[in-house]
């Protein structure tokens, strides 16, 4: 499994292309769909689907345009499905006072779901707290953490669906994972790190 990071633009949200055996998932399409499609073409990749780590507007910004242009299905955790079609819940209204919604998801994800690229597997880890339906995508070597865990911290919990108790539980789960297995993490904002290095930064919260 390999990952490509597409550097962020206006909202400073990272976009990733996860790929194996010529197939790809785009994760959090926060940048121009034209740029994403061009990179897929350059790499000779077929887009299998669009995965969201959560439903905030800065991570779903071009999801509908990418789906419309490619026909690829869009997936989000079932607990964040409502955010895609509600400007208040996806925080766009909170930050701008305006309206922004996208199409409903084509598929809803749950804890433990397994996605495949070629013969490789991606496991969905439900890590609520930043939002009700925040997830991490775990390949066994790579963990895409969205806004649950950053290289030097974690996501806020004061917007719709945020829950400090749930976030602490999710971070504790990642701490426990780091105690037995390490992997590279790719975050919703900022630089990548390793799971152990990132969880070391948050141990004092527990």
Rounded distance between C-alpha atoms, residue 2 and residue 25, angstroms = 11
* pLDDT of res. 206: 67
Residue whose structure tokens are 């299905």:
73
CA distances from 132 to 11, 67, 165, 169, 181 (A): 21, 24, 12, 12, 26
108-154, pLDDT tens digit by residue?
Answer: 999 999 999 988 999 999 999 999 999 999 999 999 999 999 999 99
Beta strand spans in the chain (E): 2-6, 15-20, 23-27, 46-51, 74-77, 107-109, 114-117, 120-126, 135-138, 142-146, 184-187, 193-194
- Structural Rg of the chain based on CA atoms: 16
**pTM beyond cutoff 0.95:** yes
- Reading the chain (206 residues) residue by residue, the pLDDT tens digits are 999 999 877 788 999 999 999 999 999 999 999 999 999 999 999 999 999 999 999 999 999 999 999 999 999 999 999 999 999 999 999 999 999 999 999 999 999 999 999 889 999 999 999 999 999 999 999 999 999 999 999 999 999 999 999 999 999 999 999 999 999 999 999 999 999 999 998 887 76
Domains and CATH numbers, the chain: 2-205 (3.60.15.10)
Beta strand spans in 130-189 (E): 135-138, 142-146, 184-187
95-116, pLDDT tens digit by residue?
Answer: 999 999 999 999 999 999 999 9
**All residues at 6 or more sequence positions from 56 whose CB lies less than 8 Å from its CB, including other chains:** 83, 90, 91, 131, 147, 159
Rounded distance between C-alpha atoms, residue 24 and residue 90, angstroms = 26
């Amino acid at each position: 499994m390999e990952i490509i990071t597409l550097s962020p633009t206006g909202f400073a949200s990272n976009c990733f292309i996860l790929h194996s055996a010529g197939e790809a998932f785009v994760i959090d399409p926060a940048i121009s769909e034209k740029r994403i499609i061009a990179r897929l073409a350059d790499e000779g990749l077929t887009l299998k689907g669009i995965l969201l780590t959560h439903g905030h507007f800065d991570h779903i910004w071009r999801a509908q345009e990418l789906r419309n242009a490619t026909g690829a299905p869009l997936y989000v955790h079932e607990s964040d499905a409502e955010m895609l079609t509600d400007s208040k819940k996806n925080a766009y209204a909170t930050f701008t006072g305006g309206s922004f919604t996208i199409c409903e998801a084509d598929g809803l994800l749950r804890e433990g779901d397994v996605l495949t690229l070629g013969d490789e597997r991606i496991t969905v880890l439900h890590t609520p707290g930043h939002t009700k339906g925040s997830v991490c995508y775990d390949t066994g070597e790579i963990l895409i953490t969205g806004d649950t865990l950053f290289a030097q911290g974690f996501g806020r919990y004061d917007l719709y669906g945020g829950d400090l108790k749930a976030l602490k539980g999710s971070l504790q789960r990642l701490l426990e994972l780091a105690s037995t297995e390490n992997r590279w993490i790719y975050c919703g904002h900022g630089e990548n790190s390793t799971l152990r290095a990132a969880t070391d930064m948050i141990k004092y919260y527990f």
